[in-house]
């Protein structure tokens, strides 16, 4: 049996972009991923398809598994020769109990590595616009637990030393003991007027910051109903927040946006939304799969030299068509001499990334504009290949035929409704936890509606802004009783994102 190994991985504070390259490599290698409440679930996407995923989180003192059982679990899996990725929020050796787990691992003679992470105290403060050190304020900083082990006979925190001897104090897990901790600072000589910041869910789009002083921060926290998890920063550097805040000033900060695109295409859209400060919630209502029968596309590939034009109306059409070319032992050279049309810039880029020049991208990214771009007088007698989804609008092929062209419509792929559970998303709608829902095709709208009870979807969207990528999608939504509030002039994902930004600027 191969020898097991444990990676104690710091996953960072919440923003998925703050995980380290080495951490990602270790997750990809692991047979088993054991993760905490504060580790971003997006990191599980890096795990191998057959990896075992085990949640051992703790919320508000309630353990899924107590620490000793977590240690036993890790050791048991490692002794079976498994590679374990022990995924922890922040850094495993800063209030992450990684030291305790490492001791148990060493005692059992199991190999391990520690992958440091960006600790929440540093990252949350930075995202709140608070430098922990600053030559005009302080050159000292201390990390302190705000929630000591209640079974200890006496405190390990030297309040008389830290209260006046350290410039910036960063308390972890201190919301429950906020008031007594602040009193201890005052009792040991710290000025009651010292600035304090509480940062909840730091580095995420749900970040919330409350600022006060040692004297009044507990009262302000109660007024704001601020709960764990949160970092407490005490010191003069907190006064720089108004000048240096950046993260929560972004135009979509705090907005929750539902992305209904397929999982494989959602990430680019989600990344754009995150750039503007939004929290994207991926709820795919569409999935692309291969056609049930390849006969149509195989026949087209065999007859490629006969076509004057190949028209691609989606990135998926390009992807599946090229994959089928390869299955036949062919490559992009087979398209030599054929004019290429792409319905929009994303589709054009997918084609150009293959080394193929695109001859036509219509000014407006929909089927009707392709006819104008081709020129109505240049269609007669020409032969067109249209690889597309099984279910699609018939406007383009019908217009080509009407103008005397010959068109072969071939199914390159199918769009189906994924098996997504709606209970959680329905509850979040009912609790008014969403600001925008986005639809990027007619299928995304139709499937969204069909995933709920009859007539339910329109009601759920009543207090939510609906963003449709273009007029076709908007019209489909309208026929289903859904009003579109946001639509870009250009029918692209970047333009849709910008339209959402402008909507909330009004």
Q: Is the pLDDT of residue 60 over 70?
A: no
Q: Please tell me the distance from the alpha carbon of residue 74 to that of residue 62, in angstroms, as a whole number.
A: 20
Q: What is the DSSP letter of 71?
A: H
Lowest-confidence segment of 185-199, 234-248, 358-372 by average pLDDT: 358-372
Question: What integer pLDDT is reported at residue 61 of this predicted model?
Answer: 54
Q: Is the pLDDT of residue 102 over 70?
A: yes
Question: What integer pLDDT is reported at residue 373 of this predicted model?
Answer: 87
Q: What is the DSSP letter of 36?
A: -
| pLDDT confidence bin for 66, thresholds 50/70/90 | confident
Burial class of 443 by CB neighbour count within 10 A (0 to 12, 13 to 18, 19+): buried
Mean pLDDT of 241-269: 93
**Residue 144 parent element (H or E):** strand 141-145
**Residue 35 parent element (H or E):** strand 32-35
Which residues are part of the catalytic machinery? 36, 58, 173
| pLDDT confidence bin for 86, thresholds 50/70/90 | very high
Q: Is the pLDDT of residue 211 over 80?
A: yes
Peptide bond before residue 250 is cis, with ω within 30 degrees of 0: no
CB–CB of 260/440 below 8 Å? Answer: yes
Q: Is the pLDDT of residue 218 over 70?
A: yes
Question: What integer pLDDT is reported at residue 344 of this predicted model?
Answer: 87
271-305 residue pLDDT tens: 999 999 998 999 999 999 999 999 999 999 999 99
| pLDDT confidence bin for 177, thresholds 50/70/90 | very high
Q: Which residues, in sequence order, are CB contacts of 467 under 8 Å at separation 6+?
A: 436, 437, 438, 439, 484, 485, 486, 487, 496, 499, 500, 503
| pLDDT confidence bin for 368, thresholds 50/70/90 | confident
Ranges assigned E (strand) in 262-314: 279-282, 287-289, 309-312
Mean pLDDT of 28-47: 89
Angle between helix 345-352 and 315-327 (nearest 10):
20
% of the chain surpassing 70 pLDDT? 98
| pLDDT confidence bin for 489, thresholds 50/70/90 | very high
> According to DSSP H, which parts of 56-110 are helical?
67-79, 98-107
Of 276 and 421, the one with more pLDDT: 276
103-136 residue pLDDT tens: 999 999 999 999 999 999 999 999 999 999 999 9
DSSP 145-201: ESS--TT-SS-S--HHHHHHH-SEEEEES-STTHHHHHHHHHHTT--TT-EEEEEES
Q: What is the DSSP letter of 486?
A: B
Q: What is the DSSP letter of 20?
A: -
Side-chain-facing half-sphere of 286: CA atoms under 13 Å: 23
Q: C-alpha angle with apex 386: 381 to 388, nearest 5 degrees?
A: 165
Q: Which domains does the chain have, with CATH numbers?
A: 5-118 (3.40.1010.10), 122-247 (3.30.950.10), 256-286+418-505 (3.40.50.10090), 289-416 (3.40.50.10090)
Of 416 and 94, the one with more pLDDT: 94
Question: What integer pLDDT is reported at residue 37 of this predicted model?
Answer: 78
CA of residue 399 relative to chain centroid, distance: 40
Q: Which residues, in sequence order, are CB contacts of 349 under 8 Å at separation 6+?
A: none
Query: What rounded mean pLDDT belongs to the chain?
Result: 92
Mean pLDDT of 378-387: 94
Q: Please tell me the distance from the alpha carbon of residue 356 to that of residue 341, in angstroms, as a whole number.
A: 11
Q: Is the pLDDT of residue 310 over 80?
A: yes
Q: Is the pLDDT of residue 445 over 90?
A: yes
Sign of CA dihedral 416, 418, 423, 424: negative
Q: How many CB atoms are located within 10 Å of the residue 52 CB?
A: 14
Q: Please tell me the distance from the alpha carbon of residue 335 to that of residue 318, in angstroms, as a whole number.
A: 12
| pLDDT confidence bin for 263, thresholds 50/70/90 | confident
| pLDDT confidence bin for 1, thresholds 50/70/90 | low
Residue 54, φ and ψ in degrees, nearest 5: -125, 125
How many residues make up the chain in this entry? 506
Q: Please tell me the distance from the alpha carbon of residue 358 to that of residue 8, in angstroms, as a whole number.
A: 48
Mean pLDDT of 319-333: 91
Pairing label, strands 195-200, 208-213: antiparallel
Q: Please tell me the distance from the alpha carbon of residue 288 to that of residue 391, in angstroms, as a whole number.
A: 11
Question: What integer pLDDT is reported at residue 58 of this predicted model?
Answer: 65
User: Among residues 432, 439, 46, 434, which one has the least CA distance to residue 266?
Assistant: 439
| pLDDT confidence bin for 452, thresholds 50/70/90 | very high
Q: Is the pLDDT of residue 16 over 70?
A: yes
Q: Is the pLDDT of residue 62 over 60?
A: no
Pairing label, strands 62-63, 58-59: antiparallel
């Amino acid at each position: 049996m191969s020898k097991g190994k444990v990676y104690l991985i710091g996953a960072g504070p919440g923003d998925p972009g703050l995980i380290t390259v080495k951490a990602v490599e270790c997750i990809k290698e692991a047979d088993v991923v054991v993760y905490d409440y504060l580790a971003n679930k997006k990191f599980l996407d890096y795990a191998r398809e057959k990896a075992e995923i085990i949640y051992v989180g703790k919320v508000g003192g309630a353990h899924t598994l107590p620490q000793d059982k977590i240690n036993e679990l890790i050791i048991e899996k490692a002794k079976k020769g498994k590679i374990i990725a022990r995924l922890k929020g922040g850094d495993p050796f800063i209030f992450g109990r990684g030291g305790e787990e490492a001791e148990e691992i060493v005692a059992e003679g199991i190999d391990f590595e520690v992958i440091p992470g960006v600790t929440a105290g540093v990252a949350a403060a930075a995202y709140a616009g608070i430098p922990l050190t600053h030559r005009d304020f302080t050159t000292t900083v201390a990390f302190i637990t705000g929630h000591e082990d209640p079974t200890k006979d006496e405190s390990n925190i030297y309040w008389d030393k830290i209260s006046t001897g350290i410039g910036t104090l960063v308390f972890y897990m201190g919301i429950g003991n906020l008031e007594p901790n602040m009193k201890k600072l005052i009792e040991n000589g710290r000025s009651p007027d010292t600035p304090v910041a509480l940062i909840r869910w730091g580095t995420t789009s749900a970040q919330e910051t409350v600022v006060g002083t040692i004297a009044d921060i507990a009262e302000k926290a109660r007024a704001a109903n601020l709960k764990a998890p949160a970092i407490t920063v005490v010191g003069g550097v907190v006064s720089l927040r108004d000048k240096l805040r950046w993260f929560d000033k972004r135009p979509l900060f705090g907005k929750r946006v539902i992305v209904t695109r397929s999982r494989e295409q959602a990430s680019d859209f989600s990344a754009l939304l995150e750039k503007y400060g939004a929290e994207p919630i991926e709820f795919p209502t569409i999935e692309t799969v291969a056609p049930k029968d390849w006969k149509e596309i195989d026949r087209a590939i065999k007859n490629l030299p006969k076509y004057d034009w190949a028209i691609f109306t989606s990135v998926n059409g390009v992807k599946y068509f090229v994959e089928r070319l390869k299955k036949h032992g062919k490559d992009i050279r087979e398209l030599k001499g054929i004019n290429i049309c792409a319905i929009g810039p994303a589709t054009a880029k997918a084609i150009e990334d293959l080394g193929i020049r695109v001859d036509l991208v219509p000014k407006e990214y929909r089927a009707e504009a392709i006819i104008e771009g081709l020129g109505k007088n240049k269609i007669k007698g020409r032969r067109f290949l249209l690889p597309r989804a099984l279910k699609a609008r018939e406007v383009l092929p019908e217009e080509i035929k009407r103008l005397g062209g010959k068109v072969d419509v071939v199914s390159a792929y199918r769009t189906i409704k994924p098996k997504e559970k709606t209970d959680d998303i329905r509850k979040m709608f009912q609790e008014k936890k969403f600001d925008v829902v986005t639809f990027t095709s007619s299928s995304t709208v139709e499937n969204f509606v069909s995933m709920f009870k009859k007539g339910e979807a329109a009601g759920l969207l009543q207090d939510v802004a609906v963003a449709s990528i273009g007029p076709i999608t908007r019209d489909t939504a309208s026929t289903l009783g859904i009003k579109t509030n946001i639509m870009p002039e250009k029918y692209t994902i970047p333009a849709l994102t910008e339209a959402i930004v402008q909507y909330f600027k009004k």
